[in-house]
Amino acid sequence: MFANLVIDEEIKEAEKPPPVLYTLRRNSIAFQVVSLMFPDRSQGIEEGGKSADWLDFVSAMDTLGFRAEHGGGSGFTFKGEIMLSTSPSKRQKRSIGIHRPHPSTEMGLVLLQKLGRRCNRRFGWQRASFAVTDGGIAENV
Protein backbone atom coordinates (compact mmCIF):
# COMPACT_ATOMS: atom_id res chain seq x y z
CA MET A 1 0.00 0.00 0.00
CA PHE A 2 2.82 2.40 0.84
CA ALA A 3 4.43 1.64 -2.56
CA ASN A 4 1.21 2.67 -4.34
CA LEU A 5 1.15 5.96 -2.41
CA VAL A 6 4.75 6.72 -3.44
CA ILE A 7 4.00 5.89 -7.08
CA ASP A 8 0.88 8.10 -7.03
CA GLU A 9 2.96 11.02 -5.67
CA GLU A 10 5.59 10.50 -8.37
CA ILE A 11 2.90 10.52 -11.07
CA LYS A 12 1.45 13.76 -9.71
CA GLU A 13 4.92 15.35 -9.71
CA ALA A 14 5.53 14.25 -13.31
CA GLU A 15 2.19 15.74 -14.43
CA LYS A 16 2.91 19.20 -12.96
CA PRO A 17 3.83 21.77 -15.58
CA PRO A 18 7.31 23.23 -15.13
CA PRO A 19 7.53 26.68 -13.56
CA VAL A 20 7.56 29.70 -15.87
CA LEU A 21 11.00 31.26 -15.48
CA TYR A 22 10.97 34.04 -18.06
CA THR A 23 8.32 36.15 -19.77
CA LEU A 24 9.28 37.33 -23.25
CA ARG A 25 7.62 39.75 -25.65
CA ARG A 26 6.23 37.94 -28.71
CA ASN A 27 8.00 40.28 -31.14
CA SER A 28 11.38 40.20 -29.34
CA ILE A 29 14.56 38.65 -30.67
CA ALA A 30 14.80 36.56 -27.50
CA PHE A 31 11.38 35.00 -28.14
CA GLN A 32 12.29 34.22 -31.76
CA VAL A 33 15.55 32.50 -30.75
CA VAL A 34 13.97 30.61 -27.83
CA SER A 35 11.17 29.44 -30.14
CA LEU A 36 13.77 27.94 -32.46
CA MET A 37 15.73 26.38 -29.58
CA PHE A 38 12.61 24.85 -28.01
CA PRO A 39 10.19 24.10 -30.87
CA ASP A 40 6.51 23.37 -30.28
CA ARG A 41 6.28 19.67 -31.18
CA SER A 42 2.50 19.85 -31.49
CA GLN A 43 2.91 22.05 -34.58
CA GLY A 44 4.89 19.36 -36.36
CA ILE A 45 8.50 19.17 -37.41
CA GLU A 46 9.90 22.44 -38.69
CA GLU A 47 11.39 22.38 -42.13
CA GLY A 48 14.71 23.99 -43.02
CA GLY A 49 15.11 27.66 -43.72
CA LYS A 50 14.73 28.92 -40.17
CA SER A 51 17.84 30.27 -38.54
CA ALA A 52 19.14 33.00 -36.26
CA ASP A 53 22.22 35.16 -36.54
CA TRP A 54 24.94 34.76 -33.90
CA LEU A 55 24.36 38.34 -32.67
CA ASP A 56 20.65 37.59 -32.22
CA PHE A 57 21.57 34.50 -30.19
CA VAL A 58 23.95 36.56 -28.02
CA SER A 59 21.18 39.15 -27.52
CA ALA A 60 18.71 36.43 -26.49
CA MET A 61 21.18 34.97 -24.00
CA ASP A 62 21.73 38.48 -22.63
CA THR A 63 17.97 38.84 -22.10
CA LEU A 64 18.01 35.55 -20.17
CA GLY A 65 20.75 36.82 -17.84
CA PHE A 66 24.01 35.77 -19.50
CA ARG A 67 27.02 37.82 -20.56
CA ALA A 68 29.22 36.56 -23.38
CA GLU A 69 32.95 36.35 -22.73
CA HIS A 70 35.24 35.69 -25.67
CA GLY A 71 37.71 32.95 -24.82
CA GLY A 72 39.75 33.08 -28.01
CA GLY A 73 39.12 31.74 -31.47
CA SER A 74 35.45 30.90 -31.87
CA GLY A 75 34.91 29.92 -28.22
CA PHE A 76 32.61 31.95 -26.01
CA THR A 77 31.55 31.37 -22.43
CA PHE A 78 28.14 32.66 -21.40
CA LYS A 79 28.15 33.44 -17.66
CA GLY A 80 25.43 34.88 -15.54
CA GLU A 81 22.87 34.60 -12.81
CA ILE A 82 19.89 32.85 -14.32
CA MET A 83 16.64 31.19 -13.35
CA LEU A 84 16.66 27.39 -13.07
CA SER A 85 13.68 25.04 -13.07
CA THR A 86 14.94 23.42 -9.86
CA SER A 87 14.84 26.72 -7.93
CA PRO A 88 12.59 29.19 -9.76
CA SER A 89 12.42 31.64 -6.87
CA LYS A 90 16.07 32.72 -6.98
CA ARG A 91 18.81 33.27 -9.53
CA GLN A 92 21.88 31.08 -9.57
CA LYS A 93 25.30 31.54 -11.14
CA ARG A 94 25.79 29.29 -14.17
CA SER A 95 27.83 29.17 -17.35
CA ILE A 96 27.87 27.36 -20.66
CA GLY A 97 30.50 27.27 -23.40
CA ILE A 98 29.43 27.69 -27.01
CA HIS A 99 31.40 28.03 -30.24
CA ARG A 100 30.43 30.82 -32.63
CA PRO A 101 29.63 29.39 -36.04
CA HIS A 102 32.07 30.36 -38.76
CA PRO A 103 32.73 31.42 -41.46
CA SER A 104 29.01 32.24 -41.60
CA THR A 105 27.40 33.58 -38.43
CA GLU A 106 24.02 31.98 -39.20
CA MET A 107 22.87 29.40 -36.65
CA GLY A 108 20.65 26.85 -38.33
CA LEU A 109 17.64 25.12 -36.82
CA VAL A 110 19.56 21.91 -36.03
CA LEU A 111 22.28 23.81 -34.13
CA LEU A 112 19.74 25.89 -32.21
CA GLN A 113 17.75 22.80 -31.20
CA LYS A 114 20.97 21.11 -30.10
CA LEU A 115 21.74 24.15 -27.92
CA GLY A 116 18.17 23.95 -26.58
CA ARG A 117 18.77 20.34 -25.50
CA ARG A 118 22.03 21.40 -23.82
CA CYS A 119 20.20 24.17 -21.95
CA ASN A 120 17.57 21.63 -20.94
CA ARG A 121 20.19 19.32 -19.45
CA ARG A 122 22.19 22.09 -17.73
CA PHE A 123 19.44 24.45 -16.58
CA GLY A 124 16.21 22.44 -16.84
CA TRP A 125 14.84 24.86 -19.44
CA GLN A 126 12.12 23.74 -21.83
CA ARG A 127 9.51 25.48 -23.95
CA ALA A 128 7.12 25.76 -21.00
CA SER A 129 9.79 27.65 -19.01
CA PHE A 130 9.10 30.69 -21.21
CA ALA A 131 5.83 32.62 -21.17
CA VAL A 132 4.85 35.06 -23.89
CA THR A 133 3.32 38.52 -23.66
CA ASP A 134 2.11 40.63 -26.56
CA GLY A 135 3.18 43.98 -25.20
CA GLY A 136 5.05 45.76 -22.49
CA ILE A 137 8.55 45.04 -21.36
CA ALA A 138 10.00 41.55 -21.20
CA GLU A 139 10.55 40.55 -17.63
CA ASN A 140 12.02 37.75 -15.61
CA VAL A 141 9.46 36.01 -13.43
For the chain, list the strands marked E by DSSP: 22-25, 51-53, 66-72, 75-84, 87-99, 106-108, 130-133, 139-140
Model confidence, pTM: 0.80
pLDDT at 11 (0 to 100): 57
Q: Strand 22-25 and strand 139-140: pairing?
A: antiparallel
The answer to which of 56-60, 117-121, 130-134 has the lowest mean pLDDT is: 130-134
Three-state DSSP at 82 gives strand
pLDDT at 43 (0 to 100): 63
pLDDT at 138 (0 to 100): 47
pLDDT tens for 20-45 read: 999 999 999 999 999 999 998 776 55
CB 86: neighbour CB atoms within 10 A? Answer: 9
pLDDT tens for 82-120 read: 998 888 888 999 999 999 999 999 999 999 999 999 999
Instruction: Supply the DSSP symbol for 136.
Output: S
pLDDT at 19 (0 to 100): 87
Query: In this structure, are residues 37 and 113 in contact, taking their beta carbons and an 8 Å threshold?
Result: yes
Residue 9 pLDDT > 80, yes or no? no
